[in-house]
Amino acid sequence: MYETYLEILWNFVKAFAVGGTICMIAQIVINFTDLTAGKILVAFMLAGVVLQGLGLYQYLVDFAGAGATVPISGFGYLLANGAIKGAEKGFFGAVTGALSSASAGISAAVIFSFLMAIVFQSKSKRN
Amino acid sequence: MTGKNRQNYNKNYIAYVHSFDPPTQHFKNCFRAFLVGGLICCIGQCMREILEKAVGLYGDELSSAVSIMLILLGTLLTGFGVYDRIGRYAGAGSIVPITGFANSVASPAIEFKTEGLVYGLAAKMFIVAGPIIVYGVLAGTAVGIIYLFL
């Protein structure tokens, strides 16, 4: 039992270190280039797609768990992974695979954002 | 004034304005991004452990469930106006995790609600997330087609 707790703690340390490092790389890029948030997100998502296309991001996911899947590069990993798995089933799968694997995230973002927009008012005026 | 001259003028002016900026605190910014980004990933890891051990999810379902919960958290914090404050402190530490993606969808949706449900809320919702989905689908499908022919 003691060892299980130690393993879980070690998982947290790995997630913290890898996730934090990815965010820190993004911060370094922002500090030196003036890229806006949208461009950073696109760049990191594309980095995830390319790394998984080369088969490398999987190692990071196996090592760090949420530390690799929670940053936006994990979204790119999900897209590429879905496309690779779909490609085994043929042309149709190769085209539909990417979005179908990311559908949970996109649907959740759209649905929850819509609900929040209905419920909440813009806070910008109160500052 | 010729076009080239004006460009130089603008460049000089921008350099002059930037000379009054407070110096960027690289180390502090990076440390904060590391700390907050790492903490958000730890929240994700916590959900992962709970869902894996208590609910018995695994593989793609597990990561999807964690993503959905983090997106709910991100949109909720955006709604309460907390996420902007985190963003001011953490910089990239709040942008890069999936909660930042959720914030980039929810924030314009809330802000442009007043312009109507179709051209305000729904159209502006994808102002940042749109490019991510566009290039994600393009790159993902390219990977799929490459693997098809390998």
Examine residue B17 and state whether it is found in any structural domain, yes or no.
no
Examine residue B6 and state whether it is found in any structural domain, yes or no.
no
Q: What is the pLDDT of residue B78?
A: 93
pLDDT tens per residue across span A57-88:
999 999 998 999 999 999 999 999 999 999 99
The count of structural domains within chain B is 1
Examine residue B34 and state whether it is found in any structural domain, yes or no.
yes
Examine residue B39 and state whether it is found in any structural domain, yes or no.
yes
**Amino acid occupying residue A9:** L
Enumerate residues 8 to 27 of chain A having a beta carbon within 8 A of any beta carbon in chain B: 8, 11-12, 15-24, 26-27
Dist. CA B50–CA B63, nearest whole Å: 12
* pTM of the model as a whole: 0.86
Which residue range is the domain that position B69 belongs to?
A: 24-149
Contacts for A50 with CB less than 8 Å, ≥ 6 apart: A76, A80, B139
- Sign of the dihedral through C-alpha B117, B123, B129, B134: positive
Q: Which DSSP symbol is given to B81? A: T
pLDDT tens per residue across span B92-143:
999 999 999 999 999 999 999 999 889 989 999 999 999 999 999 999 999 9
- The answer, for B58 touching chain A at a CB cutoff of 8 Å, is no
Task: State mean pLDDT over B19-37.
Answer: 84
Examine residue B82 and state whether it is found in any structural domain, yes or no.
yes
Per the structure block, which two tokens stand in for B91? Answer: 């910089």
- The answer, for B147 touching chain A at a CB cutoff of 8 Å, is yes
Domain boundaries, given as residue ranges, for chain A: 2-126
**Residue A127 pLDDT level (bands cut at 50, 70, 90):** very low
Examine residue B14 and state whether it is found in any structural domain, yes or no.
no
In a mutational test of the A interface, the residue from B36, B67, B111 whose CB has the highest number of chain A CBs within 10 Å is B67
- The answer, for A47 touching chain B at a CB cutoff of 8 Å, is no
CB–CB of A84/A111 below 8 Å?
no
Examine residue B101 and state whether it is found in any structural domain, yes or no.
yes
Alpha-helical regions (H) of B24-125:
26-50, 59-79, 82-90, 92-95, 98-111, 123-124
Examine residue B110 and state whether it is found in any structural domain, yes or no.
yes
